[in-house]
Amino acid sequence: MQKKLSVLFLCGWYPSRVLPTNGDFIERHAKAVAKLNNVSVIHIVTDEKLAGKEEIIVSKEENLITYLAYVNLQKNVFLKALTFFKIFKKIYSKIDSIDVVHLNEIYPFGIFSLYLKKRFNKPYIISEHWTVYHQPQAKNISFFQNKISNLITKSAEFVCPVSNDLADSLKKIPLKGNYTKVPNVVNTDLFFPLEKKEERFTIIHISNMINEHKNVEGILHVISKLQSESIDFCLKLIGDNSIKYIDFAKRLGIDSKNIEFINQIPHKEIATHLQKADVFVLFSNYENLPCVILEAFSCGVPVISTNVGGIKEYFPENFGTLISKNNEELLLKEILNIYYKKHKIADKRIMHQYVKNNFSELVIANSFNNLYQKAVKNIAK
Predicted model pTM: 0.94
Q: What sections of 93-236 are H helices per DSSP?
A: 110-120, 143-155, 164-172, 211-214, 216-226
* pLDDT of the residue at 281: 98
For residue 249, pLDDT beyond 90: yes
For residue 302, pLDDT beyond 90: yes
* pLDDT of the residue at 1: 57
pLDDT, average across residues 303-332:
97
Q: What is the enclosing helix (H) or strand (E) of 348?
A: helix 348-359
For residue 232, pLDDT beyond 60: yes
Instruction: Encode pLDDT of 32-61 as tens digits.
Output: 999 999 999 999 999 999 988 899 999 999
**What's the chain's average pLDDT?**
95
For residue 238, pLDDT beyond 80: yes
Q: Which domains does the chain have, with CATH numbers?
A: 6-185+360-380 (3.40.50.2000), 201-359 (3.40.50.2000)
